[in-house]
Structure 1
Protein backbone atom coordinates (compact mmCIF):
# COMPACT_ATOMS: atom_id res chain seq x y z
CA UNK A 1 0.00 0.00 0.00
CA UNK A 2 2.92 2.40 0.65
CA UNK A 3 3.95 2.24 -3.02
CA UNK A 4 0.39 2.62 -4.35
CA UNK A 5 0.17 5.39 -6.96
CA UNK A 6 -3.00 7.41 -7.43
CA UNK A 7 -3.54 8.35 -11.07
CA UNK A 8 -7.14 9.53 -10.53
CA UNK A 9 -6.40 13.25 -10.74
CA UNK A 10 -9.80 14.49 -11.94
CA UNK A 11 -12.00 13.70 -8.90
CA UNK A 12 -15.07 15.15 -10.61
CA UNK A 13 -17.63 12.91 -8.87
CA UNK A 14 -18.15 10.71 -11.91
CA UNK A 15 -18.97 13.63 -14.21
CA UNK A 16 -21.84 16.08 -14.58
CA UNK A 17 -24.40 13.50 -15.73
CA UNK A 18 -23.54 11.04 -12.97
CA UNK A 19 -23.71 13.74 -10.31
CA UNK A 20 -26.89 15.54 -11.35
CA UNK A 21 -28.90 12.98 -13.35
CA UNK A 22 -28.09 9.70 -11.59
CA UNK A 23 -27.39 10.95 -8.07
CA UNK A 24 -29.49 14.12 -7.88
CA UNK A 25 -26.49 16.34 -7.12
CA UNK A 26 -25.09 14.13 -4.34
CA UNK A 27 -21.31 13.79 -4.07
CA UNK A 28 -18.63 11.83 -2.30
CA UNK A 29 -16.86 14.23 0.08
CA UNK A 30 -13.42 13.58 -1.46
CA UNK A 31 -14.32 13.55 -5.16
CA UNK A 32 -15.63 10.01 -5.64
CA UNK A 33 -19.03 9.33 -7.24
CA UNK A 34 -21.86 9.17 -4.69
CA UNK A 35 -22.92 5.77 -6.01
CA UNK A 36 -19.43 4.25 -5.64
CA UNK A 37 -18.90 1.34 -3.26
CA UNK A 38 -18.35 2.37 0.38
CA UNK A 39 -15.71 2.99 1.61
CA UNK A 40 -15.09 5.11 -1.48
CA UNK A 41 -11.59 5.11 -2.96
CA UNK A 42 -10.47 8.49 -1.57
CA UNK A 43 -12.24 8.32 1.79
CA UNK A 44 -10.89 6.75 4.99
CA UNK A 45 -10.57 2.99 4.57
CA UNK A 46 -10.72 3.17 0.76
CA UNK A 47 -7.97 2.34 -1.72
CA UNK A 48 -6.25 5.70 -1.33
CA UNK A 49 -7.75 6.81 2.00
CA UNK A 50 -4.85 5.64 4.17
CA UNK A 51 -5.21 8.29 6.87
CA UNK A 52 -1.66 9.64 6.55
CA UNK A 53 -1.33 13.06 8.20
CA UNK A 54 0.61 15.31 5.83
CA UNK A 55 0.66 18.59 7.79
CA UNK A 56 0.30 19.80 11.38
CA UNK A 57 -0.95 23.32 12.14
CA UNK A 58 -1.70 25.47 15.16
CA UNK A 59 -5.22 26.45 16.12
CA UNK A 60 -6.53 29.49 14.22
CA UNK A 61 -3.35 29.93 12.14
CA UNK A 62 -3.24 31.34 8.61
CA UNK A 63 -1.99 28.67 6.20
CA UNK A 64 -0.81 28.69 2.59
CA UNK A 65 -2.78 26.50 0.20
CA UNK A 66 -1.65 25.88 -3.37
CA UNK A 67 -3.87 24.37 -6.06
CA UNK A 68 -2.63 23.49 -9.54
CA UNK A 69 -5.45 24.07 -11.99
CA UNK A 70 -4.80 22.33 -15.32
CA UNK A 71 -8.10 23.35 -16.96
CA UNK A 72 -10.04 26.44 -15.93
CA UNK A 73 -13.82 26.16 -15.64
CA UNK A 74 -14.30 29.56 -13.95
CA UNK A 75 -16.31 29.13 -10.72
CA UNK A 76 -14.68 29.23 -7.28
CA UNK A 77 -12.78 27.27 -4.58
CA UNK A 78 -13.76 26.69 -0.96
CA UNK A 79 -11.95 24.85 1.85
CA UNK A 80 -13.31 23.24 5.01
CA UNK A 81 -12.28 20.91 7.86
CA UNK A 82 -13.99 18.04 9.66
CA UNK A 83 -12.56 16.37 12.82
CA UNK A 84 -14.48 13.13 12.22
CA UNK A 85 -11.91 11.62 9.84
CA UNK A 86 -13.38 8.10 9.96
CA UNK A 87 -16.87 9.25 9.03
CA UNK A 88 -16.62 12.58 7.21
CA UNK A 89 -19.88 14.15 6.07
CA UNK A 90 -20.54 17.32 4.10
CA UNK A 91 -22.61 18.62 7.01
CA UNK A 92 -19.57 18.34 9.29
CA UNK A 93 -17.35 20.08 6.74
CA UNK A 94 -19.83 22.91 6.20
CA UNK A 95 -19.66 23.76 9.92
CA UNK A 96 -15.92 24.50 9.70
CA UNK A 97 -15.32 26.48 6.50
CA UNK A 98 -11.93 28.20 6.30
CA UNK A 99 -11.81 31.99 5.95
CA UNK A 100 -10.16 33.63 2.95
CA UNK A 101 -7.73 36.33 4.18
CA UNK A 102 -6.90 37.95 0.82
CA UNK A 103 -8.99 40.08 -1.50
CA UNK A 104 -8.72 39.72 -5.29
CA UNK A 105 -8.22 42.64 -7.66
CA UNK A 106 -11.34 43.52 -9.61
CA UNK A 107 -13.59 41.16 -7.64
CA UNK A 108 -15.94 41.62 -4.72
CA UNK A 109 -14.25 40.20 -1.63
CA UNK A 110 -15.57 36.88 -0.35
CA UNK A 111 -14.53 35.61 3.07
CA UNK A 112 -14.81 31.97 1.99
CA UNK A 113 -14.53 31.83 -1.83
CA UNK A 114 -11.49 32.13 -4.08
CA UNK A 115 -12.12 32.81 -7.78
CA UNK A 116 -9.48 31.39 -10.18
CA UNK A 117 -9.49 33.97 -12.98
CA UNK A 118 -6.04 33.51 -14.54
CA UNK A 119 -6.53 30.26 -16.43
CA UNK A 120 -4.38 27.19 -15.89
CA UNK A 121 -1.68 27.80 -13.26
CA UNK A 122 -0.73 27.16 -9.65
CA UNK A 123 -2.91 29.35 -7.41
CA UNK A 124 -1.60 30.32 -3.98
CA UNK A 125 -4.10 31.34 -1.31
CA UNK A 126 -4.06 32.31 2.36
CA UNK A 127 -6.79 30.81 4.53
CA UNK A 128 -7.41 30.98 8.27
CA UNK A 129 -8.10 27.76 10.16
CA UNK A 130 -11.06 27.63 12.57
CA UNK A 131 -10.49 27.76 16.32
CA UNK A 132 -10.70 24.04 16.78
CA UNK A 133 -8.25 21.32 17.74
CA UNK A 134 -8.10 17.86 16.23
CA UNK A 135 -5.41 15.21 16.30
CA UNK A 136 -6.63 13.89 12.95
CA UNK A 137 -9.00 15.81 10.73
CA UNK A 138 -9.81 16.04 7.01
CA UNK A 139 -9.19 19.16 4.91
CA UNK A 140 -11.54 19.34 1.92
CA UNK A 141 -11.06 21.32 -1.31
CA UNK A 142 -14.12 22.04 -3.44
CA UNK A 143 -14.07 23.53 -6.92
CA UNK A 144 -17.55 24.46 -8.11
CA UNK A 145 -17.25 25.32 -11.80
CA UNK A 146 -19.11 28.15 -13.53
CA UNK A 147 -19.05 27.52 -17.28
CA UNK A 148 -22.48 25.88 -17.80
CA UNK A 149 -25.63 27.72 -18.86
CA UNK A 150 -28.47 27.61 -16.33
CA UNK A 151 -31.28 29.32 -14.44
CA UNK A 152 -30.35 32.06 -11.95
CA UNK A 153 -32.22 32.64 -8.65
CA UNK A 154 -33.84 35.80 -10.06
CA UNK A 155 -35.40 33.88 -12.96
CA UNK A 156 -32.93 34.92 -15.65
CA UNK A 157 -30.57 32.56 -17.46
CA UNK A 158 -26.85 32.91 -18.02
CA UNK A 159 -23.50 31.10 -17.87
CA UNK A 160 -22.59 30.12 -14.31
CA UNK A 161 -26.13 29.70 -13.01
CA UNK A 162 -27.85 26.42 -12.23
CA UNK A 163 -26.18 23.03 -11.67
CA UNK A 164 -22.44 23.02 -12.41
CA UNK A 165 -19.60 20.54 -12.56
CA UNK A 166 -17.82 20.03 -9.24
CA UNK A 167 -14.38 18.75 -8.24
CA UNK A 168 -13.26 17.69 -4.76
CA UNK A 169 -10.14 16.42 -2.99
CA UNK A 170 -9.07 15.74 0.60
CA UNK A 171 -5.94 15.74 2.75
CA UNK A 172 -5.42 14.43 6.29
CA UNK A 173 -4.06 17.10 8.67
CA UNK A 174 -3.78 17.81 12.40
CA UNK A 175 -4.60 21.05 14.20
CA UNK A 176 -2.98 21.47 17.58
CA UNK A 177 -1.38 18.51 19.33
CA UNK A 178 -0.98 15.22 17.45
CA UNK A 179 -2.26 12.11 19.15
CA UNK A 180 0.26 9.33 19.76
CA UNK A 181 -1.75 6.84 17.75
CA UNK A 182 -2.13 9.05 14.68
CA UNK A 183 0.15 8.10 11.76
CA UNK A 184 2.77 10.78 11.02
CA UNK A 185 4.89 11.34 7.92
CA UNK A 186 7.29 14.02 6.72
CA UNK A 187 6.59 13.44 3.02
CA UNK A 188 3.64 14.55 0.93
CA UNK A 189 0.88 12.13 -0.03
CA UNK A 190 -0.72 11.47 -3.40
CA UNK A 191 -3.64 13.82 -2.73
CA UNK A 192 -3.84 15.77 -5.96
CA UNK A 193 -4.85 19.28 -4.93
CA UNK A 194 -4.72 21.73 -2.06
CA UNK A 195 -1.83 20.47 0.10
CA UNK A 196 -0.15 23.49 1.76
CA UNK A 197 3.61 23.82 1.53
CA UNK A 198 6.09 25.77 3.61
CA UNK A 199 7.10 29.17 2.27
CA UNK A 200 10.65 29.76 1.09
CA UNK A 201 12.78 32.49 2.70
CA UNK A 202 14.88 35.04 0.81
CA UNK A 203 18.33 36.23 1.96
CA UNK A 204 19.69 39.43 0.30
CA UNK A 205 23.22 38.73 1.61
CA UNK A 206 23.31 35.37 -0.17
CA UNK A 207 22.13 37.01 -3.38
CA UNK A 208 24.92 39.65 -3.18
CA UNK A 209 27.60 37.02 -2.52
CA UNK A 210 26.38 34.93 -5.46
CA UNK A 211 26.38 37.99 -7.74
CA UNK A 212 29.94 39.02 -6.75
CA UNK A 213 31.33 35.50 -7.17
CA UNK A 214 29.61 35.16 -10.56
CA UNK A 215 31.08 38.51 -11.71
CA UNK A 216 34.61 37.49 -10.67
CA UNK A 217 34.33 34.14 -12.43
CA UNK A 218 33.09 35.77 -15.64
CA UNK A 219 35.90 38.37 -15.50
CA UNK A 220 38.51 35.63 -15.02
CA UNK A 221 37.16 33.68 -17.99
CA UNK A 222 37.29 36.75 -20.25
CA UNK A 223 40.86 37.53 -19.12
CA UNK A 224 42.04 33.98 -19.85
CA UNK A 225 40.38 34.04 -23.25
CA UNK A 226 41.99 37.39 -24.10
CA UNK A 227 45.44 36.22 -22.94
CA UNK A 228 45.10 32.95 -24.83
CA UNK A 229 44.06 34.48 -28.14
CA UNK A 230 46.56 37.37 -27.81
CA UNK A 231 49.45 34.89 -27.55
CA UNK A 232 48.20 32.86 -30.50
CA UNK A 233 47.71 36.03 -32.54
CA UNK A 234 51.33 37.05 -31.92
CA UNK A 235 52.57 33.65 -33.02
CA UNK A 236 50.53 33.70 -36.21
CA UNK A 237 51.86 37.18 -37.02
CA UNK A 238 55.42 35.93 -36.68
CA UNK A 239 54.67 32.93 -38.90
CA UNK A 240 53.35 35.00 -41.82
CA UNK A 241 56.03 37.73 -41.59
CA UNK A 242 58.41 37.62 -44.67
CA UNK A 243 62.01 36.47 -43.92
CA UNK A 244 64.64 39.18 -43.56
CA UNK A 245 67.93 39.31 -45.61
CA UNK A 246 70.90 38.00 -43.65
CA UNK A 247 73.51 40.27 -45.39
CA UNK A 248 75.15 42.66 -42.98
CA UNK A 249 75.93 45.31 -45.60
CA UNK A 250 74.14 46.39 -48.69
CA UNK A 251 76.07 45.79 -51.92
CA UNK A 252 78.24 48.73 -53.05
CA UNK A 253 78.51 49.75 -56.67
CA UNK A 254 82.01 49.32 -58.23
CA UNK A 255 84.22 52.43 -58.27
CA UNK A 256 84.05 54.56 -61.36
CA UNK A 257 87.36 54.69 -63.33
CA UNK A 258 88.09 57.52 -65.75
CA UNK A 259 89.00 56.11 -69.11
CA UNK A 260 92.31 57.53 -70.46
CA UNK A 261 92.51 58.94 -74.00
CA UNK A 262 95.69 58.11 -76.00
CA UNK A 263 96.40 60.11 -79.15
CA UNK A 264 98.96 59.13 -81.80
CA UNK A 265 100.26 61.88 -83.95
CA UNK A 266 101.66 60.84 -87.25
Structure 2
Protein backbone atom coordinates (compact mmCIF):
# COMPACT_ATOMS: atom_id res chain seq x y z
CA UNK A 1 0.00 0.00 0.00
CA UNK A 2 2.84 2.39 0.86
CA UNK A 3 4.44 1.82 -2.54
CA UNK A 4 1.13 2.54 -4.30
CA UNK A 5 0.61 5.77 -2.35
CA UNK A 6 4.18 6.90 -3.04
CA UNK A 7 3.76 6.12 -6.74
CA UNK A 8 0.58 8.20 -6.89
CA UNK A 9 2.25 11.05 -5.02
CA UNK A 10 5.28 11.15 -7.29
CA UNK A 11 3.04 11.11 -10.38
CA UNK A 12 1.13 14.11 -9.02
CA UNK A 13 4.35 15.94 -8.23
CA UNK A 14 5.71 15.25 -11.71
CA UNK A 15 3.04 17.54 -13.13
CA UNK A 16 4.90 20.44 -11.53
CA UNK A 17 8.28 19.32 -12.79
CA UNK A 18 9.57 21.84 -15.30
CA UNK A 19 12.92 22.62 -16.85
CA UNK A 20 14.42 23.95 -20.05
CA UNK A 21 17.69 24.43 -21.91
CA UNK A 22 18.49 28.14 -21.51
CA UNK A 23 21.99 28.50 -23.00
CA UNK A 24 22.33 27.63 -25.78
CA UNK A 25 18.59 28.24 -25.98
CA UNK A 26 16.48 25.31 -27.09
CA UNK A 27 14.30 25.75 -30.17
CA UNK A 28 11.26 25.86 -27.91
CA UNK A 29 12.88 28.42 -25.58
CA UNK A 30 14.71 30.68 -28.07
CA UNK A 31 11.78 33.13 -28.12
CA UNK A 32 12.36 33.85 -24.41
CA UNK A 33 15.85 35.27 -24.99
CA UNK A 34 16.08 36.13 -28.70
CA UNK A 35 13.70 38.79 -30.06
CA UNK A 36 13.84 37.44 -33.63
CA UNK A 37 12.02 34.30 -32.49
CA UNK A 38 9.10 35.98 -30.75
CA UNK A 39 6.94 36.66 -33.79
CA UNK A 40 7.11 33.08 -35.07
CA UNK A 41 7.94 30.82 -32.23
CA UNK A 42 6.45 31.92 -28.92
CA UNK A 43 5.63 28.74 -27.01
CA UNK A 44 4.47 29.10 -23.42
CA UNK A 45 4.77 25.37 -22.69
CA UNK A 46 8.52 25.33 -23.35
CA UNK A 47 9.17 24.12 -19.79
CA UNK A 48 7.10 21.01 -20.48
CA UNK A 49 9.05 19.29 -23.26
CA UNK A 50 8.71 15.94 -21.50
CA UNK A 51 7.95 13.54 -24.37
CA UNK A 52 4.22 13.68 -23.67
CA UNK A 53 4.66 12.33 -20.15
CA UNK A 54 5.60 8.91 -18.82
CA UNK A 55 2.37 7.25 -19.96
CA UNK A 56 2.81 8.45 -23.54
CA UNK A 57 6.57 7.90 -23.76
CA UNK A 58 6.53 4.37 -22.37
CA UNK A 59 2.91 3.27 -22.76
CA UNK A 60 2.55 4.34 -26.40
CA UNK A 61 6.05 4.92 -27.77
CA UNK A 62 8.19 2.20 -26.19
CA UNK A 63 10.36 4.80 -24.45
CA UNK A 64 10.99 6.91 -27.56
CA UNK A 65 10.75 10.69 -27.70
CA UNK A 66 11.03 13.42 -30.32
CA UNK A 67 14.52 14.92 -30.39
CA UNK A 68 13.26 18.21 -28.94
CA UNK A 69 10.98 16.72 -26.28
CA UNK A 70 7.73 16.39 -28.20
CA UNK A 71 5.80 13.08 -28.15
CA UNK A 72 7.40 10.60 -30.56
CA UNK A 73 4.01 9.73 -32.08
CA UNK A 74 2.94 13.36 -32.57
CA UNK A 75 2.33 13.71 -36.30
CA UNK A 76 3.26 17.38 -36.63
CA UNK A 77 6.16 18.21 -34.37
CA UNK A 78 6.43 21.99 -33.99
CA UNK A 79 10.18 22.15 -33.42
CA UNK A 80 11.56 19.55 -35.80
CA UNK A 81 12.40 20.36 -39.42
CA UNK A 82 9.17 21.08 -41.30
CA UNK A 83 7.37 22.15 -38.13
CA UNK A 84 5.71 25.55 -37.86
CA UNK A 85 8.16 26.76 -35.17
CA UNK A 86 11.34 25.38 -36.71
CA UNK A 87 13.84 28.01 -37.93
CA UNK A 88 17.07 26.03 -38.14
CA UNK A 89 19.05 29.17 -37.36
CA UNK A 90 22.21 28.87 -35.30
CA UNK A 91 21.78 30.44 -31.88
CA UNK A 92 25.35 30.05 -30.63
CA UNK A 93 28.85 29.63 -32.07
CA UNK A 94 31.67 27.68 -30.43
CA UNK A 95 35.25 26.67 -31.26
CA UNK A 96 36.15 23.12 -32.22
CA UNK A 97 37.35 21.14 -29.20
CA UNK A 98 36.65 23.89 -26.68
CA UNK A 99 35.17 23.60 -23.21
CA UNK A 100 31.95 25.53 -22.81
CA UNK A 101 29.20 26.17 -20.27
CA UNK A 102 25.61 25.04 -20.65
CA UNK A 103 22.84 26.60 -18.57
CA UNK A 104 19.71 24.68 -17.68
CA UNK A 105 16.87 26.23 -15.69
CA UNK A 106 14.96 23.96 -13.33
CA UNK A 107 11.79 25.23 -11.70
CA UNK A 108 11.21 21.91 -9.94
CA UNK A 109 14.14 19.70 -9.02
CA UNK A 110 13.41 15.98 -9.32
CA UNK A 111 17.03 14.88 -9.04
CA UNK A 112 18.14 12.36 -11.67
CA UNK A 113 20.79 13.37 -14.20
CA UNK A 114 21.54 15.38 -17.35
CA UNK A 115 23.11 14.13 -20.58
CA UNK A 116 24.17 16.18 -23.61
CA UNK A 117 24.45 15.03 -27.22
CA UNK A 118 25.61 16.42 -30.56
CA UNK A 119 24.76 15.67 -34.20
CA UNK A 120 26.36 17.26 -37.28
CA UNK A 121 23.68 17.74 -39.96
CA UNK A 122 25.82 19.55 -42.56
CA UNK A 123 25.75 16.52 -44.86
CA UNK A 124 21.95 16.20 -44.66
CA UNK A 125 20.67 19.78 -45.07
CA UNK A 126 17.18 18.61 -46.01
CA UNK A 127 16.80 16.53 -42.87
CA UNK A 128 16.83 17.14 -39.14
CA UNK A 129 19.00 15.35 -36.62
CA UNK A 130 17.96 11.86 -35.61
CA UNK A 131 18.21 10.32 -32.18
CA UNK A 132 20.54 7.68 -33.61
CA UNK A 133 22.92 10.40 -34.78
CA UNK A 134 22.71 12.21 -31.43
CA UNK A 135 23.37 8.99 -29.51
CA UNK A 136 26.67 8.56 -31.34
CA UNK A 137 28.03 11.77 -29.76
CA UNK A 138 27.35 11.91 -26.03
CA UNK A 139 29.44 14.79 -24.71
CA UNK A 140 31.71 14.45 -21.70
CA UNK A 141 31.68 16.63 -18.63
CA UNK A 142 34.75 18.90 -18.85
CA UNK A 143 37.95 17.45 -17.36
CA UNK A 144 36.40 14.02 -16.83
CA UNK A 145 35.27 10.87 -18.61
CA UNK A 146 31.75 11.22 -17.24
CA UNK A 147 28.76 11.72 -19.53
CA UNK A 148 26.07 11.97 -16.84
CA UNK A 149 25.74 15.05 -14.63
CA UNK A 150 23.95 14.18 -11.40
CA UNK A 151 21.24 16.49 -10.09
CA UNK A 152 21.01 16.55 -6.30
CA UNK A 153 18.27 17.90 -4.06
CA UNK A 154 20.77 20.41 -2.65
CA UNK A 155 20.81 22.20 -6.02
CA UNK A 156 17.20 23.22 -5.46
CA UNK A 157 15.17 25.03 -8.10
CA UNK A 158 17.78 27.08 -9.87
CA UNK A 159 19.87 27.67 -12.95
CA UNK A 160 22.36 24.81 -13.20
CA UNK A 161 25.60 25.40 -15.09
CA UNK A 162 27.43 22.41 -16.56
CA UNK A 163 30.85 22.64 -18.21
CA UNK A 164 31.20 20.34 -21.21
CA UNK A 165 33.93 19.32 -23.65
CA UNK A 166 33.33 19.60 -27.40
CA UNK A 167 34.93 16.91 -29.58
CA UNK A 168 38.22 17.85 -31.23
CA UNK A 169 37.13 16.23 -34.50
CA UNK A 170 33.80 18.01 -35.07
CA UNK A 171 33.22 21.32 -36.82
CA UNK A 172 29.95 22.29 -38.46
CA UNK A 173 27.87 25.09 -39.85
CA UNK A 174 24.84 23.36 -38.41
CA UNK A 175 24.99 20.98 -35.49
CA UNK A 176 22.08 20.02 -33.28
CA UNK A 177 22.85 20.08 -29.56
CA UNK A 178 20.53 18.08 -27.31
CA UNK A 179 19.92 18.27 -23.55
CA UNK A 180 18.28 15.26 -21.93
CA UNK A 181 17.09 15.25 -18.32
CA UNK A 182 16.20 11.86 -16.88
CA UNK A 183 14.34 12.69 -13.67
CA UNK A 184 14.62 10.62 -10.52
CA UNK A 185 11.09 11.12 -9.21
CA UNK A 186 9.37 7.93 -10.42
CA UNK A 187 9.12 4.80 -8.31
CA UNK A 188 10.61 1.76 -9.98
CA UNK A 189 12.64 -1.42 -9.75
CA UNK A 190 16.25 -1.73 -10.85
CA UNK A 191 16.23 -4.45 -13.55
CA UNK A 192 19.65 -5.74 -12.44
CA UNK A 193 19.59 -5.58 -8.64
CA UNK A 194 15.85 -5.78 -8.04
CA UNK A 195 16.10 -2.83 -5.64
CA UNK A 196 13.05 -0.57 -5.49
CA UNK A 197 13.06 3.19 -5.08
CA UNK A 198 12.73 6.57 -6.75
CA UNK A 199 14.56 6.76 -10.06
CA UNK A 200 15.58 3.10 -10.01
CA UNK A 201 13.23 1.87 -12.71
CA UNK A 202 13.51 2.07 -16.47
CA UNK A 203 10.46 4.32 -16.99
CA UNK A 204 11.44 7.75 -15.71
CA UNK A 205 10.10 11.15 -16.67
CA UNK A 206 12.29 12.63 -19.41
CA UNK A 207 12.78 16.24 -20.50
CA UNK A 208 14.58 17.23 -23.70
CA UNK A 209 15.65 20.35 -25.51
CA UNK A 210 17.46 20.80 -28.83
CA UNK A 211 19.43 23.85 -29.98
CA UNK A 212 20.95 24.71 -33.35
CA UNK A 213 24.62 25.68 -33.04
CA UNK A 214 27.75 26.26 -35.11
CA UNK A 215 31.21 24.87 -34.31
CA UNK A 216 34.08 26.70 -35.98
CA UNK A 217 37.00 24.52 -37.06
CA UNK A 218 40.74 25.19 -37.08
CA UNK A 219 42.03 28.35 -35.48
CA UNK A 220 39.13 30.54 -36.56
CA UNK A 221 37.68 32.20 -33.45
CA UNK A 222 34.01 31.74 -32.68
CA UNK A 223 32.07 34.83 -33.70
CA UNK A 224 29.80 36.56 -31.23
CA UNK A 225 28.42 38.99 -33.79
CA UNK A 226 25.55 36.74 -34.83
CA UNK A 227 22.10 38.18 -34.36
CA UNK A 228 21.51 35.20 -32.10
CA UNK A 229 24.31 36.11 -29.67
CA UNK A 230 23.84 39.71 -28.66
CA UNK A 231 23.07 41.68 -25.56
CA UNK A 232 19.41 41.28 -26.43
CA UNK A 233 19.56 37.66 -25.31
CA UNK A 234 19.08 38.85 -21.74
CA UNK A 235 15.88 40.12 -20.21
CA UNK A 236 15.68 43.92 -19.79
CA UNK A 237 17.60 44.85 -16.67
CA UNK A 238 15.86 46.46 -13.70
CA UNK A 239 16.97 49.70 -12.11
CA UNK A 240 16.36 48.68 -8.52
CA UNK A 241 16.83 45.63 -6.33
CA UNK A 242 14.88 46.90 -3.31
CA UNK A 243 12.18 44.64 -1.87
CA UNK A 244 8.42 45.20 -1.71
CA UNK A 245 8.45 46.02 2.00
CA UNK A 246 10.47 49.17 1.39
CA UNK A 247 7.57 51.36 0.30
CA UNK A 248 7.17 51.55 -3.47
CA UNK A 249 7.07 48.35 -5.49
CA UNK A 250 10.58 47.60 -6.83
CA UNK A 251 11.54 46.39 -10.27
CA UNK A 252 12.21 42.67 -10.64
CA UNK A 253 15.93 41.79 -10.49
CA UNK A 254 17.71 38.84 -12.17
CA UNK A 255 20.71 39.15 -9.87
CA UNK A 256 20.21 36.30 -7.42
CA UNK A 257 17.53 37.95 -5.30
CA UNK A 258 15.80 35.57 -2.88
CA UNK A 259 12.10 36.25 -3.39
CA UNK A 260 9.56 34.86 -0.95
CA UNK A 261 5.82 34.34 -1.28
CA UNK A 262 4.03 37.67 -1.07
CA UNK A 263 6.84 39.83 -2.46
CA UNK A 264 5.65 42.38 -5.02
CA UNK A 265 7.68 43.47 -8.05
CA UNK A 266 7.17 45.44 -11.22
CA UNK A 267 8.21 44.09 -14.60
CA UNK A 268 7.48 45.64 -18.02
CA UNK A 269 4.91 47.93 -16.38
CA UNK A 270 2.99 45.07 -14.75
CA UNK A 271 2.82 44.32 -11.03
CA UNK A 272 3.47 40.72 -9.96
CA UNK A 273 3.21 38.86 -6.66
CA UNK A 274 5.59 36.02 -5.80
CA UNK A 275 3.66 32.82 -5.09
CA UNK A 276 6.59 30.46 -4.50
CA UNK A 277 9.94 31.22 -2.88
CA UNK A 278 12.91 31.07 -5.26
CA UNK A 279 16.17 32.75 -6.21
CA UNK A 280 16.08 34.89 -9.35
CA UNK A 281 18.33 34.48 -12.38
CA UNK A 282 18.46 35.98 -15.91
CA UNK A 283 15.59 34.84 -18.11
CA UNK A 284 13.27 33.93 -15.24
CA UNK A 285 11.43 37.25 -15.28
CA UNK A 286 7.73 37.46 -14.32
CA UNK A 287 5.54 36.40 -17.24
CA UNK A 288 3.03 33.69 -18.20
CA UNK A 289 6.05 31.40 -18.65
CA UNK A 290 7.05 31.66 -14.97
CA UNK A 291 3.54 31.15 -13.63
CA UNK A 292 4.86 28.75 -10.98
CA UNK A 293 6.66 31.67 -9.30
CA UNK A 294 4.75 34.83 -10.26
CA UNK A 295 1.14 35.92 -10.59
CA UNK A 296 0.06 39.22 -12.13
CA UNK A 297 -1.77 41.41 -9.61
| TM value normalised by structure 2 | 0.56
How many residue pairs match? The answer is 179
What residue in structure 1 maps to residue 206 of structure 2? 166
Extract unaligned runs of 5+ from structure 2.
Answer: 1-35, 218-224, 235-297
Match of residue 17, structure 1, among 21, 39, 55: 55
Residue 57 (structure 1) aligned with residue 98 (structure 2)? no
What residue in structure 1 maps to residue 6 of structure 2? none
Give the superposition deviation at 1:172: 0.3
Partners of 2:143 and 2:107 in 1: CA distance: 23
What residue in structure 2 maps to residue 112 of structure 1? 147
What residue in structure 1 maps to residue 138 of structure 2? 97
Given the superposition, is the C-alpha separation of residues 116 and 149 from structure 1 closer, same or farther in structure 2, using an over 3 Å criterion?
same
What residue in structure 1 maps to residue 114 of structure 2? 77
Give the superposition deviation at 1:102: 5.9
Matches within 5 A, 1:159-238: 159-162=198-201, 163-176=203-216, 185-187=226-228
What residue in structure 2 maps to residue 43 of structure 1? 80
Extract unaligned runs of 5+ from structure 1.
Answer: 104-109, 178-183, 190-194, 198-266
Partners of 1:42 and 1:102 in 2: CA distance: 32
Q: Give yes or no for contact 1:52–1:185 (8 Å, CA) kept in 2.
A: no
Partners of 2:162 and 2:227 in 1: CA distance: 22
Given the superposition, is the C-alpha separation of residues 102 and 72 from structure 1 closer, same or farther in structure 2, using an over 3 Å criterion?
farther
Partners of 1:185 and 1:115 in 2: CA distance: 33
* RMSD between superposed Cα atoms in Å: 2.5
More strand by share: 2
Aligned to 2:57, what secondary structure does the other structure show?
helix
Partners of 1:94 and 1:54 in 2: CA distance: 22
